[in-house]
Amino acid sequence: MRDAKSAVITGASGMIGTATVRLLAEKGCAVLAVDRVPFPMRQDGVTFFAADVTAPEQVAAVAAQAARSFGTADALVHIAGGAGPDRAPDLEATDLSIWEHVMALNATSAFLLCRALVPPMRQQGFGRVVTLSSILARGEKGAATTVAARLPYAAAKAALTGFTAQLAKDCAADGITVNAVAPGLILGDAGTRIRDRFDALPEHERARMLGAIPAGRPGTAEEVAGMLAFLVSGAAGYINGATIAIDGAAS
């Protein structure tokens, strides 16, 4: 069984990205850490590359840097995404610019990165692709909470599950697996975006969100990173086209 020995990780400066970079680097994987903002730590085997993965020319630059660093990247772990900065709690508040921005952050970026990085994986006969969906791909009841633009976010994360399933079928014969993880509520330390939004909610809303999680607690970035690292390992070679929930049984 072959583990990925090199990986491009997007969204590397966020809490899940940082945990994933750290874990894969500790396992001996060479990492190209990609984000629009500076990477918050220095670690052996990790190279930071600044890029906006919604921009085709910058994705091409990521692929060029990966080729210089690795030859061919064994894995793409696409964590970059999100619901954007603009609050849009319902359909009427969601204008086209918000919709297009959130779709670009999540779904279009995955397409651009895979189009750039998967063909060399085909040529070498091995590859691992993991995307980050969300349990919100199935929608969320009640008032909008920590997600700024819930409707386009749900649509974009659902698009990723379909993209993942189809690309897996297209690439399986070439030794490539394509999977997604779908986290539930993941809270970082104070000062992180989702944690600050959660802490700003009324107490009854925080209680409602936590009460919907049978495990009784939010997840951690390290728990998501553990699954991402597993999916790029040789042990996960027969898992393909799956979307795996990491949500304490909430979905």
Question: Out of 153, 157, 229, 245, which one is annotated catalytic?
Answer: 153
Distance from C-alpha of 102 to C-alpha of 109, rounded to nearest angstrom: 10
* 108 contact partners, CB below 8 Å, separation of at least 6: 54
DSSP the chain: ----SEEEEESTTSHHHHHHHHHHHHTT-EEEEEESS--S---TTEEEEE--TTSHHHHHHHHHHHHHHHSS-SEEEE------SS-B-SGGG--HHHHHHHHIIIIIHHHHHHHHHHHHHHHHT-EEEEEE--GGGG---SS--S-SBHHHHHHHHHHHHHHHHHHHHHHGGGTEEEEEEEE--B--STTSHHHHHHHHS-HHHHHHHHHT-TTSS-B-HHHHHHHHHHHTSGGGTT--S-EEEESTT--
**153 counts as catalytic:** yes
Cite the active site residues. Answer: 153
